[in-house]
Chains A and B, each alone.
Chain A
Amino acid sequence: MSILISKDTRFIVQGITGREAVNLTRENLDYGAKIVGGVTPGRAGRDVYGVPVYDCVRDVVEAHGQIEGSVVSVPPRFTKDAVFEALENGIQLIVVVTENIPRREVAQMVELANLRGARIIGPNCLGMISPEEAKMGGVGGPAANTRQAYAKGHIGVMSRSGGMTTKIASTLTAAGLGQSTCVSIGGDAIIGTTYAELMPLFEADPETHAIAIYSEPGGRMEAELAEWIQANNSRLPVVAFMAGRFMDEMKGMRFGHAGTIVEGKEDTTTEKIKRMEAAGISVAERIEEIPALLRKRLEEV
């Protein structure tokens, strides 16, 4: 099993005729995804690699019945409306690829998603993959590369960086550790789904035996994860890699992602590592240490 997506997940791509969305559609189809339609206003009647294009999400739903997911890849100014459109047409799982969306708009999308009982992954993310089943978003790049980097197995991966999602998965794969589902959660200050919010899903998935995460300075997401693990007496061992340690001395400067900024003591890497270790999370100094740490933790279970 896996979480969030499987080979049966039917989804659409909003903004499907954009350059990046065209590549993403191709890569996802090649990996086995069921993309039933795409949306670009004014382009109805065309197709992208055989995927029919519609003007509105409503039209796709009318033609194909209820759809579970959508990948939103439209310019920042139009993203909020695209997400609202997906939500108001009953779509329950939305991956927002777009970056540079102001926090207010992200908060608005998340609030409407909560009202509709739906989930947003991202923004500023590469989506997710359940290896050898399906992927939804640009994670892993072309299907051939994705097959090299990702293998089916029992490690759940969560990452604030899209590229590092694949880096961690390929390190695990090379060490003989496959993955259940890998989620690029997004690099912004406010995101639809945090580590702690994905934990109950992994916890409920019998195929997931341990978790690997990629984390960064900025925000309270790691503290939230530590609290969740302690409060819920989680069965899953967690190994974290913390990047951006140099930023502890660079208060107020942004590096890498929009959400990666040290504003106070609590969001330094030193403080985050302290909190995670107190919650029983093993923190790796190097990415290459993650497989051995996971093995060690899995033997203790």
Chain B
Amino acid sequence: MRFYEYEAKALFRKHRLPLGAGEVVNSADEARAAFGRLAGPAVLKSQVLSGGRMKAGAVKFADSADEAAAHFDAILPIVVKGESARSILIEEKSPVAQEYFVAITWDGRRKQPVLVFSDMGGIDIEEVAEKHPDHVSKTHFSSILPLTPRIAKEAIGATGVGGSALNKLTPIVFELMKIFLEYDLTLAEINPLARLENGQFIVLDGHIDMEAEARGEHKALLDELGIGDDETRQARPPTEFELAGARVNAVDHRGVAGNVVEFDGNLGLVIGAGGGSLTLFDAVRKHGGKPANYCEIGGNPSVGKAKELTKLILSKPGVEKIAVMMNVVSNTRVDIVARGVVKGCIEAGKDPAETIAIFRIPGAWEDEGFKILEKYGVEYCDRSVSMYDAAGRAVAKMA
């Protein structure tokens, strides 16, 4: 889950990383007033989760309070990669002598954190790595041995930085490494980290991603930053339909019937689980089908949950039929899912036989499940029909 820039900076401030003066503003008047509290020229930056603000024109420089107010009005409505601004951050604009890049992330191959440092910050790090490999260092470090500053020092020194810059950068980079591990982050980045003309080092921009699984562990910090439990902070904000899917899954603690992602097709999918969902979704598309949604059922959800998920999917405009498909199940019970989806159709005012294009869940309690489906005239199949072919049957009914 990604933090906004102003949240990342609040975390940095808490850890005494050097930052310039600045504040979050929500109106042109606030921008005007904030400008007055800064010492000189200012920069106004749209607060969005995605990159590419600069290109979209959502970062502007102001030399006067009036200009700051005008820029606020200009920036606020700009949509960056489909995302509207949450607020505007106004900060002092200081003359920069040099920019550095520092980031810490996980290396899944080495299974360790990796510290990436460059003395050519501010621009695309991939490009720097390609054209100036001697200006980028990558340093892996242990996640169990005590963290010490020498790793930061070595990483900085490896790009040719020495003298007082080395000594001033080391504690900043070391603090970022500590923050990375302490808060279960998947990315902690400062870019640019600037040396000002007055010799001071400050954080100009930062990115923070926290592991979704660790949110509970760091609730105190998230509360402090005002990040609510309902904010998924994925690549795009959740749709109403997806939020409703999350509510269905939260009805009771038995199994999973959720992880709904909205698509714009007409065939509703009730599918599971991890690898099976991916395989089935691909199969539907391969047959030319247009899924209305992705979802996951598994872990033996209750009848009520399967029912509510079915009703939700059927309530989506344009959805005519649903396909109920899973890999062979051993924990989830076929009869429970069958009862749930049939009930869901009926409560949605639809005929299960017409609405369920195919039911393909083989495995535990399948005889009991198939009996229910037969009673309602629903087409079903067992493991002798592959997931791929079952998806094909469902798509054929959409023609």
Contact = CB atoms under 8 A, between A and B. Distances in A.
A190 B111 CA distance: 6
A167 B327 contact: yes
Contacts of A220: 108-109
A48 interface: no
A229 interface: no
Contacts of A160: 275
A221 B143 CA distance: 21
Interface in B202-238: 211-214, 217, 234-236
Nearest to A171: B386
Interface residues of A, number: 56
A163 B275 contact: yes
B112 A246 contact: no
Contacts of B17: none
A52 interface: no
Interface string B262-305: 00000000000111111101110110000000101000000000
Interface stretch (A9-17, A37-45, A256-264): A256-264
Given A111-B143, A246-B285, A102 B112 contact: no
B274 A161 contact: yes
Contacts of A187: 274-275
A141 B235 contact: no
Contacts of B387: 167, 287
A287 B386 contact: yes
Given A102-B214, A163-B274, A189-B106, A256 B296 contact: yes
Given A163-B276, A167-B327, A254-B234, A224 B261 contact: no
B275 A159 contact: yes
A164 B246 CA distance: 25
A194 interface: yes
Given A112-B144, A287-B388, A163 B108 contact: no
Contacts of B112: 107, 111
| Contact count band on B | 35 or more
Contacts of B213: 76, 100-102, 258
Nearest to A288: B386
B184 interface: yes
B328 A104 contact: no
Interface string B177-216: 0000100101000000000000000000000000111100
A103 B149 CA distance: 23
Contacts of B386: 286-288
B282 A255 contact: no
A161 B234 contact: no
B275 A141 contact: no
A245 B388 CA distance: 14
B369 interface: no
Given A104-B184, A107-B111, A288-B388, A243 B279 contact: yes
Contacts of B294: 255
A166 interface: yes
Nearest to B276: A163
Interface string A227-247: 000000000000000011111
B258 interface: no
Interface in B356-399: 363-364, 383, 386-388
Contacts of A31: none
Given A76-B213, A145-B330, A286-B388, A189 B282 contact: no
Which of B142, B277, B279, B283 gathers most chain A CB within 10 Å?
B279
A90 interface: no
Contacts of A224: 109
A251 interface: yes
A110 interface: yes
B327 A221 contact: no
A220 B281 CA distance: 23
B106 A103 contact: yes
A288 B328 CA distance: 15
A108 B143 contact: yes
B235 A216 contact: no
A231 B314 CA distance: 52
A281 B181 CA distance: 37
Nearest to A166: B328
A163 to B, nearest CB: 5
Given A245-B282, A287-B388, A256 B275 contact: yes
12 contacts: A164-B275, A167-B328, A189-B186, A194-B109, A216-B275, A253-B261, A255-B261, A255-B294, A257-B275, A258-B213, A286-B283, A287-B279
Given A167-B275, A216-B275, 5 more contacts: A108-B143, A110-B111, A164-B275, A250-B235, A285-B286
The 7 A-B residue pairs with the shortest CB-CB distance, nearest first, are A161-B275, A252-B235, A141-B330, A164-B275, A244-B278, A243-B278, A256-B274
